[in-house]
């Protein structure tokens, strides 16, 4: 069994073996849930980097060249609308 001590400020150090088991990194958020029977469950919240790429785009990326051309058309249309040459 692993123990840690609560400080006067309400802080504790998560023991190394627990950090390793949860695969948590420094500054990563932990979610605490307290059940009616007094037990507490701690879950590591995923970081932004672990979530990167987990969502699929609604449409395929057309490529850099097509994006650049679309941007140039939009800038030209805006300039024409504003009367800028």
DSSP class of residue 51 equals H
Average pLDDT over residues 63-73: 93
- The per-residue pLDDT for 85 is 61
Helix (H) or strand (E) holding 16: helix 16-22
> Which of 6-10, 29-33, 50-54, 61-65 has the weakest average pLDDT?
50-54
Q: How many CB atoms lie within 10 A of CB 19?
A: 15
Mean pLDDT of the residues in the chain: 89
| Tokens of residue 16, six digits | 């190394």
- The per-residue pLDDT for 1 is 84
Delineate the domains of the chain, giving CATH numbers in brackets. Answer: 1-48 (2.10.260.10)
Q: pLDDT (tens digit, 9 = 90+) per residue, 23-59?
A: 898 989 999 999 999 999 999 888 777 777 777 778 8
Q: How many CB atoms lie within 10 A of CB 10?
A: 6
Helix (H) or strand (E) holding 65: helix 64-82
Model confidence, pTM: 0.51
Q: Residue 75 CA to chain centroid, in angstroms?
A: 33
């Amino acid at each position: 069994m692993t123990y840690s001590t609560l400080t006067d400020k309400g802080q504790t150090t998560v023991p190394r073996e627990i950090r390793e088991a949860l695969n948590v990194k420094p500054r990563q958020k932990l979610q605490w849930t307290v059940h009616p029977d007094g037990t507490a469950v701690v879950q590591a919240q995923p970081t932004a980097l672990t979530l990167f790429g987990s969502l699929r785009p609604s449409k395929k990326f057309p490529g850099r060249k097509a994006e650049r051309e679309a941007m140039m058309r939009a800038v030209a249309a805006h300039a024409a609308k504003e009367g800028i040459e």
